[in-house]
Chain A
Amino acid sequence: MWRKEDGKGQEPPEISTGSVNPTTATKPGTSSLSGFAAPPVSSKSAACVSQGIKIKGELTGSEDLFVDGRVEGRITLSNATLTIGPNATVKADLTAREVVVRGRVEGMVSGSERIQVWHTAHIHGELKSEKIGIEEGAELHGKMEAGKPTGPPAVAGSSKRAEPNKHKDAASGEEKSSSGAAVAGAD
Chain B
Amino acid sequence: MGFLSKLGIAIGGSAPRESVRSLPHGRNGNNGNGRAVAVGPSRQPEIQETTRVSNGLKEFLWNLDGLGRGTLLDLGPAWQTTLSFFIERGFRVTSEDILRGWAEFLREEELHKEERSVENYAQRTPEGLAKKFLNENLKYAPGSFDALLLWDALDYMEPTLAKYTVAHLTELVRPGGGVFAMFHSKKPEGFQRYRVTGTNTLQVLSAKPICPAQKVYQNREIQELFGRYRSVKSYVSRDQLRETLFLK
Contacts and interface: CB of A to CB of B under 8 A. Distances in A.
Interface of A: 114, 116-120, 131-151, 153-154, 156-162, 164, 168, 170-171, 173-187
Given A174-B237, A177-B234, A180-B231, A168 B38 contact: no
Contacts of A147: 86-87, 90-93
Contact of A161 (B68, B77, B237, B247): B247
Contacts of A144: 78, 93-96
Contacts of B124: none
A174 B53 CA distance: 10
Contacts of B104: 141
Contacts of B185: 185-187
B212 interface: no
A171 B55 contact: yes
B36 A140 contact: yes
B231 to A, nearest CB: 4
A151 to B, nearest CB: 6
Contacts of B69: 148, 150-151
B27 A170 contact: no
A150 B175 contact: no
Given A145-B92, A150-B70, A140 B175 contact: no
List the 10 closest pairs (A to B, CB-CB), nearest first: A156-B176, A161-B63, A134-B38, A147-B92, A185-B236, A136-B29, A159-B66, A133-B7, A143-B96, A183-B219
Most buried by A among B42, B87, B176: B176
B44 to A, nearest CB: 7
B235 A174 contact: yes
A51 to B, nearest CB: 16
Given A154-B70, A162-B176, A183 B40 contact: no
A3 B70 CA distance: 47
B28 interface: yes
22 contacts: A119-B27, A134-B83, A135-B27, A136-B40, A136-B42, A136-B43, A136-B80, A144-B96, A145-B94, A146-B87, A146-B93, A146-B94, A156-B175, A158-B67, A160-B66, A161-B178, A176-B234, A179-B231, A179-B247, A180-B232, A184-B235, A187-B218
Given A137-B29, A146-B93, A149-B92, A170 B235 contact: yes
Contact of B93 (A133, A140, A145): A145
B23 A119 contact: yes
B236 A160 contact: no
Contacts of B200: 171
Given A143-B95, A164-B230, A164-B247, 19 more contacts: A114-B3, A116-B9, A119-B28, A131-B87, A132-B83, A136-B39, A137-B37, A139-B35, A140-B38, A142-B96, A146-B93, A158-B66, A162-B176, A174-B236, A174-B237, A178-B233, A179-B233, A183-B219, A183-B232
